[in-house]
Amino acid sequence: MSPLPYAIEMPPARYFKRIGIRGLRAKDAAPLRALLTENRSWLQPWEATYPSGGGAVPGSQPLGPMVRALNRQRRQGAGVAFVMLYDDEVVGQLSLSDISGGALRSASIGYWVSQHVAGRGVTPTSVALAIDYAFTELRLHRIEICIRPENIASLRVVEKLGLRFEGRREKYIHIDGKWCDHDTFAVTAEEVPEGMLARFGAPNT
Ligand SMILES: CC(C)(COP(=O)(O)OP(=O)(O)OC[C@H]1O[C@@H](n2cnc3c(N)ncnc32)[C@H](O)[C@@H]1OP(=O)(O)O)[C@@H](O)C(=O)NCCC(=O)NCCS
């Protein structure tokens, strides 16, 4: 399926209490790299890798080229990258990727947050903000999140949000050096007529 047939504008910040998301900008490259480096051992087990060998060691490369590539995707209608904020500090990243237009109008969400703010509801609140943006601003219809069955913390994120389990994709993504099964969770716009943030209620913030 092809992406949206227009450029997506840089999304402005959206907040719920102390937590927010905003579009990824060039100025975020350096602080994000520092955060990735600090969080290397925290992130490595969940990091996508190349089947041909090697792959992303968190924080090992300058992020300028990645930020530019993600913003190119946004202008092509194929994806939107966000930073997650806690008290206006950049604490992680969230991406809306594989945006399909046409008869699908769908996208996938991926995320990571720095260990120093883990457990404060930053990710579920940010995902709720991103889903509401996707359904209202981009007029998407379905969002999915794919998670390794071993990733208890991430499974809690979709459980808190009430995303629907759709099934297991075997050996779906190459993560930390091997092909890994992923469980797929999804939500369609009809399931949250009042909005995802309103349904979630963000109790832990
Ligand atoms: C998965 C992840 C994004 C969750 O983010 P978060 O903002 O901490 O989410 P929550 O605050 O809702 O916490 C989710 C669960 O993490 C666990 N958790 C809580 N505090 C924690 C801490 N200090 N350290 C580690 N895990 C903790 C708990 O199981 C919690 O569930 P609970 O609220 O029922 O106790 C985060 O753990 C992370 O970035 N992990 C590494 C990268 C990753 O797994 N990305 C997702 C790939 S699908």
pLDDT digits (tens, 9 = 90+) for 129-179: 999 999 999 999 999 999 999 999 999 999 999 999 999 999 999 998 999
112 lines ligand 1 (CB under 6 A): yes
The domains of the chain are located at 14-200
The mean pLDDT of the chain is: 95
> Which atom of ligand 1 is least distant from the CA of 124?
12
151 lines ligand 1 (CB under 6 A): yes
User: What is the per-residue pLDDT for 40?
Assistant: 95
User: What is the per-residue pLDDT for 202?
Assistant: 59
Please tell us whether the domain made up of 14-200 is placed in CATH 3.20.20.70: no
The helix (H) or strand (E) run that includes residue 133 is: helix 122-136
> Which atom of ligand 1 is least distant from the CA of 148?
48
* d(CA 126, ligand 1 centre) in Å: 13
**Residue 199 pLDDT > 60, yes or no?**
yes
Q: Annotate 13-73 with DSSP letters as a single string.
A: PEEETTEEEEE--GGGHHHHHHHHHHTHHHHGGG-BB-TTS-B--TTSS-SHHHHHHHHHH
List Cβ<8 Å contacts ≥24 apart for 102-105.
Answer: 102/1, 102/2, 103/1, 104/1, 104/141, 104/142, 105/139, 105/140, 105/141, 105/142
User: What is the per-residue pLDDT for 61?
Assistant: 83
The pLDDT confidence band at residue 60, using thresholds 50, 70 and 90, is confident
User: What is the per-residue pLDDT for 25?
Assistant: 97
* Percent of the chain at pLDDT exceeding 70: 97
> Which atom of ligand 1 is least distant from the CA of 151?
44
